[in-house]
Amino acid sequence: MAGSRATNKAMFWRIIRRLLGANRGRLFVILLGLGAGAAVTAALLNLQVDAKRRLTTEFRAFGPNVLILPKGSSAASSETLPESTVHLVPVNLPGGRVAVSSTLYMVAGVFVPQSGKSLAAVVAGSNPLAFQTASVLSSSGPEASLNEPTPSPGQLCVAGARVAKQMGFQQDTELVLASGDSRESCRVASFRQTGGPEDDRVEIGLRAAQRLANLPDCISAIELIVPGTPGEIQSYIADLQRLLPDVDVRPIRQFTEGQAKIYNRISGLLTATVAIVLLLTGLCVMAAMTNVAMERKVDVGLMKAIGGSMRRVLRLFLAEAALLGLAGGIIGAAAGIFLSIGLGKAVFGVAARPRLIVYPVAVALTVIVAILSAFPLRRLASIRPASVFRGEA
């Protein structure tokens, strides 16, 4: 019995080799179609997967997307949180590390000794202050650079664009901030222009703000930049709210919803394109398989005449289609991943990072398309050996 199975298996693969080599021109056309489909599929899938990381990175530049506030607080309230709450926030996620900033808000007088101008403005104390200044140094001129040595956060500040315009000060201008009997001085390190309320603020180090407001170890809010997809961010917010029931955890919806809409559009477009490419690939291969079915009528009639069941005959052709799909998928998917690097640079301005999970998915899809495209071979089931030998089929 074992010897018979080994003989059948050897004969099976021998026939497969003969079938593959019977018409090399047609074999090349099928491989070319499957390879091209696999290449485009792998490139688009890699772009789709990389778009999650790319959008997360781009949206990080806009600032925090989650806020932790005192329970039941409103925009006009002066309630605070213990600064120790920061240490309870989980920062390690599968998608990356959560950036955390503590902030204390107050209204204080801003005085410019050089010009004698003063006004009341919102002062925000942040820890770390670099969290606020990293995205605004580019607007302060070529002399401002992250590589240059800077004073300690308690000695420098970041001025909103509208505040700077109203008071007419420049970079390195000394400011004096006053609240009650407290005074703090700082030097303008950079300017912030977002088009939002940040343009009306002066941002200083958290310790200086706590001294100015006479609120040691107190903060108004904790700002988080949470990496990941919108669904992952919402899941993180829900877990954080359960972990910290005495505070309010609120998403900044203009960022989370904007990221979700952009990703859904990109993902939907790429998914639809992949589906169209696979459909066109399947139609091309199906046309080639129709010719295969017409050419192999005599071979099928002979196999059935010597006792071969139709099930075994179709298994031969399905195995041939699967092997063609596997070969085309392996070659095309590898080319597609390299293609996605160039496409990513053209779309996002930065080369897409190759994602290994895309490779087996693209190969598997190509094999499935190849097998489904062998549907015309079912016509061979109706062939009668006698009709073939009489030349009627």
The per-residue pLDDT for 230 is 72
User: Kindly report the CA angle at 104 between 100 and 108, in degrees rounded to 5?
Assistant: 150
The per-residue pLDDT for 228 is 73
pLDDT in tens, 111-150: 988 888 888 989 988 887 643 433 333 333 433 333 334 4
Residues 6+ apart with CB under 8 A from 225: 60, 63, 64, 65, 66, 98, 99
Least confident of 8-12, 319-323, 362-366: 8-12
More confident residue, 135 or 266: 266
Residues 6+ apart with CB under 8 A from 243: 88, 90
Q: Give CA–CA dist 371/329, Å, rounded.
A: 12
Q: Which of 27, 14, 188, 210 is nearest to 112 (CA)?
A: 188
Mean confidence (pLDDT) of the chain: 77
What amino acid is encoded at 37 in this protein?
Answer: G
Q: Which of 185, 190, 186 is nearest to 143 (CA)?
A: 190
Assess whether pLDDT exceeds 50 at residue 254.
Answer: yes
The per-residue pLDDT for 144 is 36
pLDDT in tens, 332-351: 999 988 888 887 777 666 67
Assess whether pLDDT exceeds 60 at residue 15.
Answer: no
pLDDT band at 56 (very low <50, low <70, confident <90, very high): low
Which range is most confident: 16-30, 267-281, 348-362? 267-281
Q: Give CA–CA dist 124/153, Å, rounded.
A: 13
pLDDT band at 388 (very low <50, low <70, confident <90, very high): low
User: What percent of the chain shows pLDDT beyond 90?
Assistant: 6
Question: Quick check: 31 and 219 in contact, CB under 8 A?
Answer: no
Q: Give CA–CA dist 69/79, Å, rounded.
A: 9
The per-residue pLDDT for 364 is 92
pLDDT band at 198 (very low <50, low <70, confident <90, very high): confident
Least confident of 108-122, 164-178, 220-234, 311-325: 311-325
Task: Please give the average per-residue pLDDT across 288-300, as a whole number.
Answer: 70
pLDDT band at 323 (very low <50, low <70, confident <90, very high): confident
More confident residue, 292 or 227: 227
Residues 6+ apart with CB under 8 A from 250: 66, 67, 68, 69, 237
The per-residue pLDDT for 17 is 60
Strands (DSSP E) contained in 32-128 are 66-70, 81-82, 92-93, 96-97, 99-111, 118-127
What are 247's strand-pairing partners? 70
The per-residue pLDDT for 153 is 46
pLDDT in tens, 301-314: 666 666 666 677 67
What amino acid is encoded at 16 in this protein?
Answer: I
Whether omega for the bond prior to residue 128 falls within 30 degrees of 0, making it cis, is: yes
User: What percent of the chain shows pLDDT beyond 70?
Assistant: 70
3-state helix, strand, coil in the chain (%, to 5): 55, 20, 25
Residues 6+ apart with CB under 8 A from 166: 119
Question: Quick check: 63 and 135 in contact, CB under 8 A?
Answer: yes
Residue with tokens 């998917």: 333
Task: Confirm whether pTM is higher than 0.85.
Answer: no
More confident residue, 389 or 275: 275
Sign of CA dihedral 228, 232, 237, 241: negative
What amino acid is encoded at 216 in this protein?
Answer: P
Query: Please, is 116 exposed, middle or buried when counting C-beta atoms within 10 Å of its C-beta (0-12, 13-18, 19+)?
Result: exposed
Residue 167 tokens read as 């008071």
